């Protein structure tokens, strides 16, 4: 990869750089959009999408719908950083998007906003058409342990994602404002985040590939019989999620503020059980303890990001 993203003069080229590839099925069906690298330090999902495209490409006769693979924050991806000036995955608020659409490209205040404008040129015509859209935002995390999906607790989301049997996290979307899945859902489609594993690991890639195929089969996008390795993907996925809770509710988020010097205690993995009062992290004001019982989620082991950790609990 180039070290610095060239500011291409040509608007069309800049937009095209976001497209990893697409496969148009010969039968009617939903438009499945998989995006990765919304955070630039999370390129693993891009390799997963490339693998999925490779498998799907020769199968267009059997495909019902259209698959599009996208890259998120190209500038941040080139710089291997979560974002350049501001978190791109907190900008998808209706009013901010409207401002980004109205502002000429050169006048946008940050690089990350330019990236959003480029993506909107691709996404708006799809999301605001009468096509049925399923939008999967692939992420990885700095800690370790399992995989999960952040999704609204709505029947059409839950029905589809239950086929994957990965843990579903409800309610986090209310504390993470401006994610791109919010933009897709507001337009009446299915949109969710799929957190597939630790940054840069082979497991995170394999989890994403297996998850995407099981999802596409569940959607009727492609028959399982057309995928040589479907039973392999399925068994692999089921093995990986054994022992994890299936549905959990958001309970608590530790917000990191400027100058806190937050350090997560070592050794926490996703879904480790914690009890109220357990010592979880430290900042310059002292020890940070668990405010409630539950499972720990997304403990932060990297410098960029404002969410120290989450606590979730089994749904009642």
Which residues bind to Zn ion, rule: CB under 5 A? 39, 42, 139
- Tell me how far, at minimum, the Cβ of 89 lies from Zn ion, in Å: 6
Nearer to Zn ion, 42 or 206 (CB): 42
Q: How far is the CB of 126 from Zn ion (least distance, A)?
A: 22
> Do the beta carbons of residue 269 and residue 255 sit within 8 Å?
no
What is Dmax (Cα atoms) for the chain?
61
Distance CA 190, CA 195 (A): 16
Instruction: Give min distance, CB of 184 to Zn ion, in A.
Output: 16
Residue 169's beta-bridge partner residues? 150, 248
CB of residue 272 to Zn ion, shortest distance in Å = 20
> How many CB atoms sit inside 10 A of residue 1's CB?
9
Q: Where are the alpha helices (DSSP H) in the chain?
A: 11-16, 44-56, 74-78, 94-102, 111-127, 155-162, 180-186, 202-218, 230-241
No. of helices (H) and no. of strands (E), the chain: 9, 14
Query: Which of 141, 295 has the CB closer to Zn ion?
Result: 141
Q: Which is nearer to Zn ion, 42 or 230 (CB)?
A: 42
Task: Return the number of the residue (141 or 233) whose C-beta is nearest Zn ion.
Answer: 141
211, 166 in Cβ contact below 8 A? Answer: yes
Of 25 and 305, which has the nearer Cβ to Zn ion?
305
Q: Is residue 103 classed exposed, middle or buried when 0-12, 13-18 and 19+ CB atoms within 10 A define those classes? A: middle
Q: How far is the CB of 226 from Zn ion (least distance, A)?
A: 31
Q: How many CB atoms lie within 10 A of CB 225?
A: 9
Angle, CA 73 vertex, CA 69 and CA 76 arms, to 5°: 135
Whose Cβ is closer to Zn ion: residue 30's or residue 45's? 45
Smallest separation, CB 148 to Zn ion (Å): 13
Identify which of residues 139 and 240 has a Cβ nearer to Zn ion in the complex. Answer: 139
| Nearest distance, CB of residue 216 and Zn ion, angstroms | 22
């Amino acid at each position: 990869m180039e070290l610095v993203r060239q500011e291409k003069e040509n608007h069309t080229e800049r937009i095209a750089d976001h497209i990893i590839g697409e496969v148009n099925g010969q039968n009617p069906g939903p438009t499945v959009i998989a995006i990765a690298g919304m955070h630039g330090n999370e390129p693993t999902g891009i390799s997963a999408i490339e693998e999925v495209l490779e498998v799907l490409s020769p199968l267009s006769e059997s495909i019902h719908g259209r698959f599009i693979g996208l890259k998120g924050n190209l500038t941040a991806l080139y710089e291997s950083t979560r974002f350049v000036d501001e978190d791109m995955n907190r900008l998808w608020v209706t009013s901010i998007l409207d401002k980004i659409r109205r502002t000429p490209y050169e006048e946008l205040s940050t690089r990350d906003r330019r990236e959003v404008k480029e993506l909107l040129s691709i996404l708006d015509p799809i999301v605001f058409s009468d096509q049925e859209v399923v939008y999967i935002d692939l992420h990885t995390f700095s800690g370790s342990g399992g995989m999960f999906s952040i999704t609204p607790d709505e029947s059409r989301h839950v029905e589809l994602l239950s086929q994957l049997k990965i843990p579903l996290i409800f309610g986090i979307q209310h504390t993470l404002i401006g994610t791109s899945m919010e933009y897709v859902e507001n337009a009446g489609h299915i949109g969710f985040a799929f957190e597939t594993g630790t940054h840069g690991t082979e497991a995170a890639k394999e989890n994403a590939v297996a998850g995407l195929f099981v999802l596409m089969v569940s959607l009727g996008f492609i028959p399982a019989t057309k995928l040589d390795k479907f039973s392999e993907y399925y068994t692999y996925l089921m093995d990986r999620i054994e022992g994890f809770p299936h549905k959990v509710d958001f309970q608590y988020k530790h917000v990191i503020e400027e100058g806190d010097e937050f350090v997560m205690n070592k050794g926490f993995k996703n879904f480790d059980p914690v009890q109220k009062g357990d010592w979880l992290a430290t900042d310059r004001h002292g020890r940070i303890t668990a405010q409630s019982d539950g499972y720990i989620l997304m403990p932060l082991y990297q410098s960029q990001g404002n969410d120290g950790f989450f606590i979730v609990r089994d749904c009642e």
